[in-house]
Amino acid sequence: MTAFDKGAYYTGEYRNLFKELGFTDSAVQAKLEQAWADLLNGDPEIRIYYPLGDDKGYLLDTGNLDVRSEGMSYGMMMAVQMNDKEIFDRLWNFSVTYMQHSEGRYKDYFAWHCKPDGTRLSQGPAPDGEEFFAMALLFAANRWGDGPEPFNYSEQAKRILRACIHQGEDESGGDPMWDPATKLIKFVPESLFSDPSYHLPHFYDLFAIWADEADRPFWREAAEASRAYLHLACHPETGLSPEYANYDGTPAAVQRHGDFRHFYSDAYRTAANIGLDWAWFRKDLWQVEQSNRIQRFFRPIDVADYRRYTIDGTPFEEPALHPVGLLATNAMASLAADGPDAAHFVHLFWNTPLRSGERRYYDNCLYFFSLLALSGNYRIYS
């Protein structure tokens, strides 16, 4: 038995796939540190982080010129993984000050997007932000310790998780972010369907350790439910999943804001999430063949030719809006894949730079998570 026959949660050992392919420790560390520096303070056409005043900062969605709970929580996860407490605290201070609701039907949830000055553009939340906020805060508490409010990280995380499953149980109204019957995360609290790329069973297994004691059984069930759900949402031949899917895994109906039945931007994250779940916990052997499957689908396709696809693999004329992000997630699938394409995608990713230009935000978030994961630096802090 090798150190990697069990997940990193049990062994404390994290694979460095770059090193396995011959890259030196110093080269890998330099690449990681340079990418972080570029995102924070690099070329204006690459960076996505901007300070605000003396104690706040934000990640800018450069394609839409707004600040999103997705990006803020992503940035916090990146910062805790990089041991960058200053950036973490600036991002959290912005988020809790401008985005988190203090009352009403969305109490303790975060407005999903706002202007760079903190003015809210929408009040409603997007659950992928809440789950990343909570996990990043718990890691921060474990890595750095709690401080004075709002930097009492562990209590802030528990407050978010409490709302995610209990919202609406009192007179304030509102809706929980997880469907109580299926234990599946919703697309938004009011919706009756999910988003496969929101499913993070590896986070829920950790919530089941650190959330309020009374809620820990729920999180254990949610982890099992999400792993089973992904079997249904990912196509059995291509491995592709839709952006939105019903609780039975079938693509959700066309929405008034668009058609999300296909494999497009949101859906890219599903492969990365499955890879990280396998790296951390190794609870579902299906994840290995699923990762092989999606890599097998994309191996013959040049990154410049990535498209929108139906989940059975039929391409549209419409090109991928975030091809570097898609490459990054295909590479991150190598954490679980054991097929002949795993090394190919890691090499291809290594040789691809951060994206520049207007649409760089989403690509570069996925890029940095993949860089962390493939170098063995996307870790559990306990």
Task: Tell whether 129 and 206 lie within a shared domain.
Answer: no
Query: Domain containing 157 — which CATH number?
Result: 1.50.10.10
Measured at the CA of 380, the angle between CA 374 and CA 382, to 5 degrees, comes to: 160
Written as tens digits, the pLDDT of the chain (382 aa) is: 344 579 999 999 999 999 999 999 999 999 999 999 999 999 999 999 999 999 999 999 999 999 999 999 999 999 999 999 999 999 999 999 999 999 999 999 999 999 999 999 999 999 999 999 999 999 999 999 999 999 999 999 999 999 999 999 987 789 999 999 999 999 999 999 999 999 999 999 999 999 999 999 999 999 999 999 999 999 999 999 999 999 999 999 988 788 999 999 999 999 999 999 999 999 999 999 999 999 999 999 999 999 999 999 999 999 999 999 999 999 999 999 999 999 999 999 999 999 999 999 999 999 999 999 999 999 999 9
Predicted local distance difference test score (pLDDT) of residue 3: 45
Are 55 and 36 part of one and the same domain?
no
Q: With contact defined as beta carbons under 8 Å apart, do 222 and 178 qualify? A: yes
Among the three residues 177, 205, 234, which one is the final residue of a domain in this structure? 177
Cβ burial of 370 (10 Å; 0-12, 13-18, 19+) is: buried
Residue 343 lies in a domain: yes
Q: Is the domain of 144 the same as that of 200?
A: no
In a domain, 183, yes or no: no
- Same domain (yes/no): 124, 164: yes
Domain shared by 152 and 250, yes or no: no
- Spatial separation of the C-alpha atoms in residues 206 and 216, rounded to whole Å: 9
Same domain, 77 and 27: no
Q: Tell me what pLDDT residue 2 has.
A: 45
Domain boundary among 126, 150, 177: 177
Scanning the structure block, which residue is given the tokens 């340079």?
Answer: 34
Amino acid 1: pLDDT? 36
Strands 56-59 and 49-52: antiparallel
Q: For residue 317, which of 325, 326, 305 has the smallest C-alpha distance?
A: 305
What total of structural domains would you count in the chain?
A: 2
Same domain, yes or no: 33 and 72 = no
Residue 247 sits in the same domain as residue 353: yes
> Are residues 248 and 376 both part of a single domain?
yes
Residue 186 in any domain: the answer is no
Residue 283 lies in a domain: yes
Positions annotated as catalytic residues are 70, 266
User: pTM, whole model, 2 decimals?
Assistant: 0.97
- Residues constituting the chain: 382
Does 259 lie in the same domain as 140? no
Both 88 and 215 in one domain: the answer is no
* Alpha-helical runs (H) found in the chain: 8-11, 17-20, 25-41, 69-81, 85-94, 127-144, 153-166, 201-210, 216-233, 268-280, 286-298, 323-332, 342-350, 360-374
User: Is 185 inside a domain boundary?
Assistant: no
Residue 119 lies in a domain: yes
Q: Which pLDDT score is estimated for 4?
A: 56
The DSSP annotation for 291-360 comes to HHHHHHHHTTS-GGG-EEE-TTSPEEEEEPS-HHHHHHHHHHGGGT--STTHHHHHHHHHT-PPP-STTH
Any idea what DSSP says for residue 121?
A: S
Question: Which value, in Å, is the radius of gyration of the alpha carbons in the chain?
Answer: 19
In a domain, 311, yes or no: yes
Q: Where does a domain end: 116, 150, 177?
A: 177
Q: Kindly list the distances between the CA atom of residue 177 and the CA atoms of 93, 164, 202, 315, in Å, as whole numbers in the listed order.
A: 23, 5, 17, 33
Token look-up 């010129």 returns 65
Q: Domain for residue 35, yes or no?
A: yes
CA–centroid distance for 92 within its chain: 17
The reply to whether omega before 150 is within 30° of 0 (cis) is yes
Same domain, 13 and 82: no
What domain range includes position 12?
1-42+192-382
Map residue 19 onto helix, strand or coil: helix
DSSP class of residue 139?
A: H
Q: Which two tokens stand for residue 6?
A: 């069990």
